[in-house]
Chains A and B, each alone.
Chain A
């Protein structure tokens, strides 16, 4: 049995820290706790966690700021835990490099599912090591630049293909509109959310059975999209 995966939990509310860490420990993870951003940064440097869970409203500084600093030296996935109801804060945190978010109150099963998804995810290595992405009946061949469903090739335009690749390469992760626009169209298109919606619509028509009730390309309303394999 290998060493348990380490999770750093940065959250100022003691009761939430307690229940989250007991839920995670019950699943076999090793949990380190921190109550402030400063404390969290030193814990992160010391224990080299595999995942960081971060509350956005911290007593010493804003979570988004922490993320920007942390991304300077680490690519470890970050899961935001936030009581903020407005999307702006979440989008800001995601744009600065977080990978997913949970809105308080959240249930433990959902928390565990997100943690598992993020720990499983290593998109960069995956694309480098294995040029084939599979989900459902679909196979994306990143070398041949083809997509097929149950062995039948699917015709996608260049943009649709790049969009699908950007999402499928980051399964479970929330990608903001801005992140997708920059990745697919390049930096100058960062504000053209309408384009993105139209192409996501086209892509859904081609790969979803019920485009209005998608199974793979999920909308995070006001924020962006999440790809669910």
Chain B
């Protein structure tokens, strides 16, 4: 497929062409300069001393030499001395040089030209090296910066391959991992070459069928361990000089360091995840063993009592039976919470959003809460004319229920529980307040975590899931949950939901 490589060949030809054009321009400029200078000074021939005129030619040599390099300088010197001899040195308009001093000045001009040309050529190649190094440093700096932004090995690799493609016009670049040395032998590289590159810890190249191209094997090595070799095809001119190869090797070690960093970061993250999972498992287990065993023990015990003592007076029996039901109900609630939490945490909940009047949800919640509120009065205050909110009514009802249940559970049976709903700026504020013993003084936020309870081993049944569920639901609605201590005792939880722009409904009211 020779056409595939044509682009770089064109590049090379093009740069050569540019070089040629540049030197042609130099010769032309030198010729013009000398001819113009000669024409200008010819009328003054009688006035000017010959040595001054000769200095003008020296100036031409120096200027063109600095500008266009050694070749042009020599050309200017030779051409200049010829013109000088022809026009100015008597006999005029002849090349016969009669006086030895003029011959000397021609020789001096040539020497000056050689010196100037040499010095400028050195300077130029020096500055080209410096420029190339600056460009390399800039590219390396950019590359290093891109690498620091990567978070995974895949991203490092992608960034690296992209860098090689852009800066070296590398093709077919790919990574051969440490374990794939043998299996990865392919059209580009064989196993022995890959192995050699790894062992010698240096960049190796191999010619390809296309003469202008080579296959390069760049080992990625750090002090710790090898990460493999990057294999790619590249134009041979890209790896001609020692500095180009060193540059590529520096790139290789940058990639290796980045890979090592992401590798350890991934390991650390995995360890952390495993640790978090283990902690969660332990909390679930201890919570299960406390919060499930208690009601289950009561359940089994009550059922046994009823079976073993059939002669119990009816009112005693009734009390035991209603206890049985209550315990079962609390287990049901617990399992429900666990399932809800699992669903919310797994992200498996699709919000069923609709514009709802909040009163509708409140009404349902108050209806539902009756079963546990018993005689508790729940004070309700709703701002009139609240706009509808975009919510998943079922989830918000669940959140509201949890907040009310909490308030009822954690406050004395004769104290009031209040539910207040109002508009606060562009948010809807649903506040549930109680007159219980209040929140812990520090780290209130921790209460919203999974399996967090205000008081561990509290006699109030629960597993510390309720508030975590509310928080999850609030966040799913781009809202938030906050809590504060109330003046005069007790606590108040605020569920804040963003109020959007409700759609206008064209109501056809034909009263």
A binding-site residues for B, Cβ under 8 Å: 85, 87, 105, 107, 155-159, 193-195, 197-201, 211-214, 218-219, 221-222
Which of A87, A157, A200, A212 contacts B380, CB < 8 Å? Answer: A212
**A190–chain B nearest beta-carbon distance, Å:** 14
B364 within 8 A of A: yes
Which of B332, B364, B382 contacts A219, CB < 8 Å? Answer: B364
Binds A, one of B128-136, B353-361, B425-433, B459-467: B353-361
By the criterion CB–CB under 8 Å, are A195 and B507 in contact?
yes
By the criterion CB–CB under 8 Å, are A222 and B394 in contact?
yes
By the criterion CB–CB under 8 Å, are A157 and B366 in contact?
no
By the criterion CB–CB under 8 Å, are A197 and B366 in contact?
no
* 3 A-B pairs with least C-beta separation: A157-B511, A222-B394, A212-B359
Q: Considering residues A105, A156, A199, which has the most beta carbons from chain B within 10 angstroms of its beta carbon?
A: A105
Of the A-B pairs whose beta carbons lie under 8 Å apart in the complex, a sample of 8, sorted by A's number, is: A105-B328, A198-B505, A198-B507, A199-B507, A201-B357, A212-B382, A218-B363, A219-B360
Interface residues of B in 326-365 (CB under 8 A from A): 328-329, 332, 336, 339, 352, 354-357, 359-364
Given known A-B contacts A197-B360, A214-B363, A218-B367, A87 and B509 have beta carbons under 8 A apart: no
Residues of B within 8 A of A194 (CB): 354-355, 388, 503, 505
Residues of A within 8 A of B374 (CB): none
Tell me, in angstroms, the Cα distance from A194 to B388 when the chains sit together. Answer: 10
B393 within 8 A of A: yes
By the criterion CB–CB under 8 Å, are A158 and B364 in contact?
no
**B404–chain A nearest beta-carbon distance, Å:** 13
By the criterion CB–CB under 8 Å, are B505 and A157 in contact?
no
**A87–chain B nearest beta-carbon distance, Å:** 6
By the criterion CB–CB under 8 Å, are A211 and B352 in contact?
no
Residues of B within 8 A of A (CB-CB), count: 32
Given known A-B contacts A107-B325, A222-B393, A195 and B505 have beta carbons under 8 A apart: yes
Tell me, in angstroms, the Cα distance from A213 to B388 when the chains sit together. Answer: 17
B binding-site residues for A, Cβ under 8 Å: 325, 328-329, 332, 336, 339, 352, 354-357, 359-364, 366-367, 380, 382, 388, 393-394, 397, 503, 505, 507-511
Given known A-B contacts A194-B503, A197-B357, A198-B505, A158 and B510 have beta carbons under 8 A apart: yes
**A167–chain B nearest beta-carbon distance, Å:** 15
Which of chain B's residues has its CB closest to A202's CB?
A: B509
Residues of A within 8 A of B352 (CB): 87, 222
Tell me, in angstroms, the Cα distance from A221 to B354 when the chains sit together. Answer: 12
Residues of B within 8 A of A222 (CB): 352, 393-394
Residues of B within 8 A of A200 (CB): 360
Residues of B within 8 A of A201 (CB): 357, 359-360
Which of B359, B366, B382, B511 contacts A155, CB < 8 Å? Answer: B511
Tell me, in angstroms, the Cα distance from A177 to B261 when the chains sit together. Answer: 57
Which of A85, A211, A218 contacts B359, CB < 8 Å? Answer: A211
Residues of A within 8 A of B361 (CB): 219, 221
Which of chain A's residues has its CB closest to B380's CB?
A: A212
Which of chain B's residues has its CB closest to A218's CB?
A: B367
By the criterion CB–CB under 8 Å, are B325 and A157 in contact?
no
**B401–chain A nearest beta-carbon distance, Å:** 10
Tell me, in angstroms, the Cα distance from A221 to B388 when the chains sit together. Answer: 16
By the criterion CB–CB under 8 Å, are B360 and A87 in contact?
no
Tell me, in angstroms, the Cα distance from A157 to B336 when the chains sit together. Answer: 42
* Supplied contacts A195-B505, A212-B366, A222-B394, 17 more A-B pairs, CB within 8 Å: A87-B394, A105-B328, A105-B332, A156-B511, A159-B510, A194-B354, A197-B357, A197-B360, A198-B357, A198-B505, A200-B360, A201-B359, A212-B363, A213-B380, A218-B364, A219-B360, A219-B364
**A189–chain B nearest beta-carbon distance, Å:** 11
**B194–chain A nearest beta-carbon distance, Å:** 56
Tell me, in angstroms, the Cα distance from A197 to B360 when the chains sit together. Answer: 9
Tell me, in angstroms, the Cα distance from A16 to B362 when the chains sit together. Answer: 33
Tell me, in angstroms, the Cα distance from A16 to B122 when the chains sit together. Answer: 99
Tell me, in angstroms, the Cα distance from A107 to B324 when the chains sit together. Answer: 12
By the criterion CB–CB under 8 Å, are A221 and B393 in contact?
yes
By the criterion CB–CB under 8 Å, are B332 and A197 in contact?
no
Which of chain A's residues has its CB closest to B366's CB?
A: A213
Residues of B within 8 A of A159 (CB): 508-510
By the criterion CB–CB under 8 Å, are B507 and A219 in contact?
no
Tell me, in angstroms, the Cα distance from A158 to B511 when the chains sit together. Answer: 6
Residues of A within 8 A of B332 (CB): 105
Q: Considering residues B352, B361, B364, which has the most beta carbons from chain A within 10 angstroms of its beta carbon?
A: B364
By the criterion CB–CB under 8 Å, are B364 and A212 in contact?
no
Tell me, in angstroms, the Cα distance from A156 to B361 when the chains sit together. Answer: 24
**B71–chain A nearest beta-carbon distance, Å:** 85
Residues of A within 8 A of B503 (CB): 194
Which of A85, A105, A212 contacts B362, CB < 8 Å? Answer: A212
Residues of A within 8 A of B508 (CB): 159
Residues of B within 8 A of A214 (CB): 363
